[in-house]
Chains A and B, each alone.
Chain A
Amino acid sequence: MATEILARRKMRISRSGLTGLVIVIFFFLLAVAVWAGWAGQNWSAADGERWASPGSTWWFGTNQLGQDIFERAVYSVRTAFEIGIVVSLLSTALGAALGAVAGWRSNTLADGTVLWLAGVLDSIPFYLFVAAVAFALQGLPWAMHVAMIATFWTATARLARAEVMKIKSREFVLSARAIGLPSWLILMRHVLPNTLHILLIQASISFVAAIKTEVILSFLGLGVQDGVSWGLMLAESTQEVLAGHFNNFLAASIMLFLLLLGFNLLSDALQDSFDPKQAAL
């Protein structure tokens, strides 16, 4: 039943979507290499000369401290994936759970509460909220992640809620109810799997948003605390570019751009293939 609906949505991946996929896989492999300890391990050592030019020793040059920009940029891929994966998975899961409950029990107190909470969170200016959470949880390494999850789930929840409301009046759900299956089982087995396409798209959108937000938060001093990220590199570069040193800026912004582009192309293609008419909402 559920699989049947999914099967009708034939995956037709466009050429640009394929490009996106290749980029994402490339960066993911890079992240794996960093995790495994094959690359980017020397990001912290400050043993080079200051602002060395790119060359055979320092591929992307060095920063003010004499740190290897290439090593730092590569290590940052891992940071980006850690943030992206944690935030997109958890925020999508949270959004799906709350949205499903709200949609299943629409127009009840539970539904109202979820909608109210989403409305409240959406009414607080985003950066202000994220900064405030990061502040309140200061000292916790996960402060930034919590802040993003707390805001990103609302969009997913609204979409999931709408979809669940649509699905629950479908025949296969009604018949499952008729034979007396408990609600949670119907939700888990029949309803949620049919919202997977929405969740997949939302996860890829959250991934992009998480990486972009990390950059801003790190610039504001509320992001990555121990380690290195493109956001921290860009924050460093704000001081350097005006003195004419562009290596940090170029390395971080180009890699950041490529990864975001890959994800955006991929999520575009996903949306197109699942629902060409509703593309880009």
Chain B
Amino acid sequence: MPWFLRKLSHGGLLILGVTFISFSLMVWFGPDQTYTLIGKNATTEQIAEVREQLGYNQSFVVRYGHYLADLFTFNLGASNSSGESVNRILQKTIPVTLALMLPGFILGNLLGIALALLATGKKDQWTDRLITGFSVTGMSISFLVVIIFLQVLLCTPYGLNLFPVRGWQVSGLASYLYYVTVPTLSLIFITVGYNTRFFRAVFVEEAGKDHIRTARAYGASTMTILWRHVLKNSLVPIITRFMYTIPLVVISGSLLIESYFGIPGIGKATFDAVTSGDQPVLKAVVGLTAVAFIVIQLFTDFIYKLVDPRIA
């Protein structure tokens, strides 16, 4: 089988698996919305009516089949709670999430790379130890603790009281900065420890390779070596990490940040869907994330293939 077809069928199998598992968990065994949609003093018949409306009375196979068909035709249906079409919910929420998460994501990675370079340049000196210690400390703090701490510190009268406690009333650059700062700082705080550690490991390994030693032997300055050789040669793992963490950071990270800060992005929409059992929204988010993740994997593999044809 040609390489690309093999990869594609591999991706197809993964999508099947992901949709199957997430459908079983979130839809079949997931929360039942019937009882939030019925009125007071509902009769057994009314409950049956609502279940029928929601499609709960159909068999697993039928429902899973519908799900796959809907997913591939992008016919995502409408939210059971509000009646709003899932497409519109995604259109409304995804830009908010990207605007919310990207600055922190990018800064967290850049800061991680910068610190890691610094540490690699001063390997085993006190700068390196300080940075390593700092990253271990960062890794030992819970996401929740960071959010609570920064909120108290920056958003309440007990601290500096500079930023809003929550919300997202963005209408221009100034208000954007006003609302995005604290979530961004939280995200940087959370990710920079892990990023620094990861990139330092990559750089240290790269710096130990023969051609770098050679360059060093010829008297190239540390800065030149770090920039020209180490960073450049580490681009592949850096980009891979970028690509792989985007969907996870965007969905998992925003789930917590958005529900805590009350920001109407995809994470909050997903969280609300989880807690209310709004299955059309859940199905769409899980399905699309999986597809996106797998598309990114294929894409990354494809790039590698272009760069280095030996990789299969």
Contact = CB atoms under 8 A, between A and B. Distances in A.
A touches B (Cβ under 8 A):
yes
Interface of A: 16, 116-117, 119-121, 123-129, 131-133, 135-137, 208, 212, 215-216, 219-220, 231, 234, 237-238, 241-242, 244, 246, 249, 253, 256-257, 260-261, 263-265, 268, 277-281
Given A256-B145, A279-B201, A280-B198, A127 B252 contact: yes
Interface stretch (B19-27, B74-82, B103-111, B172-180): B19-27
Nearest to B26: A132
Leading 6 A-B pairs by shortest Cβ distance = A136-B29, A120-B17, A260-B140, A125-B251, A280-B201, A261-B140
A231 B142 CA distance: 10
B286 interface: yes
Given A116-B14, A264-B140, A279-B201, 17 more contacts: A117-B17, A119-B14, A120-B14, A120-B18, A124-B290, A127-B252, A132-B30, A135-B25, A135-B26, A135-B30, A136-B29, A215-B145, A234-B148, A249-B148, A253-B145, A253-B149, A256-B145
Contacts of B143: 212, 215-216
A133 B25 contact: yes
Nearest to B156: A242
B164 interface: no
A129 B26 CA distance: 9
B142 A256 contact: yes
Contacts of B127: none
6 contacts: A125-B247, A126-B248, A128-B285, A129-B22, A249-B148, A260-B140
A91 to B, nearest CB: 17
A215 B144 contact: yes
User: Dominant SS at the A interface?
Assistant: helix
Nearest to B194: A280
Given A128-B274, A135-B25, A234 B152 contact: no
B33 interface: no
Nearest to B13: A116
A132 B132 CA distance: 35
Contact of A216 (B25, B197, B256): B256
Contacts of A215: 142-145
Nearest to B152: A241
A208 to B, nearest CB: 8
Nearest to A234: B144
Interface string B196-212: 01101100110010000
A116 B140 CA distance: 31
A195 B160 CA distance: 51
B142 A212 contact: yes
B3 interface: no
A116 B17 CA distance: 8
Given A135-B29, A242-B165, A256-B142, A124 B289 contact: yes
A256 B139 CA distance: 12
B184 interface: no
Interface string B258-298: 00100000000011001000000000011001100110000
A280 B200 contact: yes
A116 B297 CA distance: 13
Contact of A260 (B30, B141, B201, B208): B141
Contacts of B144: 215-216, 219, 231, 234
B201 A281 contact: yes
Contacts of A265: 136
B291 to A, nearest CB: 9
A245 to B, nearest CB: 10
B129 to A, nearest CB: 9
Given A216-B143, A234-B144, A128 B286 contact: yes
A280 B197 contact: yes
Contacts of B260: 238
Contacts of B289: 123-125, 128
Contacts of A117: 17
B270 to A, nearest CB: 7
Contacts of B141: 253, 257, 260
A126 B17 CA distance: 16
Interface string B142-171: 111100110110001010000001000000
Given A264-B136, A279-B201, A241 B13 contact: no
